[in-house]
Amino acid sequence: MGKATGFLEYPRVDAGHRPVRERIKDYDEFLLTQATPALQTQGARCMDCGVPYCHAGFVVEGLSIGCPLCNLVPEINDLVYHGEYEEAYARLSKTHPFPEFTSRVCPALCEGSCTLGEHEPPVTIKEIERFVMDEMMRRGKIRPRIPKLRSGKRVAVVGSGPSGLSCADLLNQLGNSVTVFERSDRPGGLLMYGIPNMKLSKSLVLGRAKLLEEEGVQFMLSTEVGKDYPVLTLMKEFDAIVLCAGATQERLIDVPGKELGGVVTAVRFLTSATKDLLGGTADGDRPVAKGKNVIVVGGGDTGTDCVATSIRQGAKSVTQLEIMPCPPAERAPGNPWPLWPKIQKTDYGQQEAIALFGADPREYLTTVKEIVGNGAGRVTGVKTVQVEWQSQNGRMIPKEIPGSEKLRPAGLVLTAMGFTGPEKTLIGQLNLKTDPRGNVFTEPDSHKSSLLTVFAAGDMRRGPSLVVWAILEGRRAAKGCHEYLSAR
């Protein structure tokens, strides 16, 4: 490494976020960027550790170790330290097609497995990645790469989320003619409508789609395969199909009152907010948090995004309910390095709620028993109860604590309870084999489904996961699809 003792000399310094009172007034990105010399110093903290788990890219006991894309992290950090930004981008591009996305929305699996992180705060890998990409965009170095040869093969990619975009990108670069089908009015899938603008600017998503178009990828928007575009037609017109439609079935709340007006899924709420921001018209009754007591059911990233969006819309109060216990402040004995650290983190949405309302919005070990209405079909409150987790027949299950019931006022209930898997319409029309969880079953290496010309990738194949895993899935499916087409 360029600075062998850098990790001993320099502390971790993060660029941080825009001030809370400033950023809650708009939907602009909240991330700040350090000055270039400071970023170079942070790159110097990367150790000559011998076995860099930061880019190991595998899973142990269900937890990730390092970057699934196997980014060449130590090399990139060293090049940034030496000011070789274009070469750093060249190294990053060998494994990663869309650093502008993951450097904003990924939880930084790489940092969770950083060797320095075993004893000290890890290297700012995610921020360095964002700096490299932003610097290349600022310099105008992100240009279309037009394939020199075409195979004459046509491939349909269904879905334009991270797996669909990465699949289309690689298939196109390999010389195939690619058409991406997207049922929404804009490309990006959950990158567009499932993640709010302050976390991932939609200009980046649209910019990447535009670049892919310039490179030869075609997009058919507002076109749902199996509904607007018959499956049989798709199979006749294309040599192969890659399904990247995601795991879009949201887990719905199942308690009395779930049908009341004002009980809204997280994706519908976030989609409506983004469409309003982009100047579109949200479908149906627009869920808006202004002036309301908002209850967010779910403690994950999507729940946090609902908290932050509700605050920007002018919510009267925001409470976030989580049925699981509060994670520990430090790694538990059963969660050693280099596994992903399961510790408590206060994300941007909670930071904003604390600054605005004076308290962390999260309430752990709490679940909803009933949603209460006003007699005219609108929600007015939520009955909750505290739980404790007990072992029963070898499984941990939540048990209600008697006397802990509480009625909370609510004008908007947002369910952010995760996703159960892919929608069944397209899978059923193609009569595809599925795994026990309802995901598309494929061969592990080629991603080929039970139907000869159909492949699958992303959440539709592996189940709900992270953007970085979806990007990797898309690339793997593209390679499998291309190998199949090349052999025909």
**Mean pLDDT throughout 381-410?**
96
Q: What pLDDT shows up at residue 280?
A: 67
* Rounded-to-integer distance, Cα 170 and Cα 476, Å: 9
pLDDT tens digits, one per residue of 66-95: 999 999 999 999 999 999 999 999 999 999
* Rounded-to-integer distance, Cα 156 and Cα 179, Å: 5
Same fold for the domain at 154-248+420-487 and the one at 252-417? yes
* Rounded-to-integer distance, Cα 383 and Cα 399, Å: 16
Eight-state DSSP code of residue 261: B
pLDDT tens digits, one per residue of 297-318: 999 999 999 999 999 999 999 9
pLDDT grade for 151, boundaries at 50, 70 and 90: very high
* Rounded-to-integer distance, Cα 260 and Cα 270, Å: 19
pLDDT grade for 386, boundaries at 50, 70 and 90: very high
Q: What pLDDT shows up at residue 284?
A: 60
The CA-to-CA distance between both ends of the chain, in Å, stands at 46
Q: What pLDDT shows up at residue 281?
A: 58
DSSP string, 399-467: EE-TT--EEEE-SEEEE---EEE--HHHHHHHT--B-TTSPBP--TTT-B-SSTTEEE-THHHH-S--H
DSSP string, 268-307: HHHHHHHHHHTT---SSS----TTSEEEEE--SHHHHHHH
Domain 252-417 has CATH 3.50.50.60: yes
Pick from 306, 387, 314: nearest CA to 347: 306
pLDDT tens digits, one per residue of 426-459: 999 999 999 999 999 999 999 999 999 999 999 9
C-alpha distances in Å from residue 447, one per residue of 153, 365, 391, 478: 18, 39, 38, 9
Q: Are strands 317-322 and 293-297 parallel, antiparallel or unpaired?
A: parallel
pLDDT grade for 1, boundaries at 50, 70 and 90: low
Is the pLDDT at 408 greater than 80? The verdict is: yes
| Mean per-residue pLDDT of the chain | 96
pLDDT tens digits, one per residue of 321-373: 999 999 999 999 999 999 999 999 999 999 999 999 999 999 999 999 999 99
User: What does pTM read for this prediction?
Assistant: 0.96
Is the pLDDT at 56 greater than 70? The verdict is: yes
Is the pLDDT at 250 greater than 70? The verdict is: yes
Is the pLDDT at 173 greater than 60? The verdict is: yes
Please report, for the chain, the start and end positions of each structural domain, with discontinuous segments joined by +.
6-138, 154-248+420-487, 252-417
pLDDT grade for 411, boundaries at 50, 70 and 90: very high
Quote the CATH superfamily of domain 6-138. Alpha-helical ferredoxin (1.10.1060.10)
Residue type, 364: Y
pLDDT grade for 62, boundaries at 50, 70 and 90: confident
**Mean pLDDT throughout 123-142?**
97
The structural architecture, per CATH, of the domain 154-248+420-487 is: 3-Layer(bba) Sandwich (3.50)
Is the pLDDT at 282 greater than 70? The verdict is: no
Asked if 204 contacts 99 with a C-beta cutoff of 8 angstroms, the reply is no
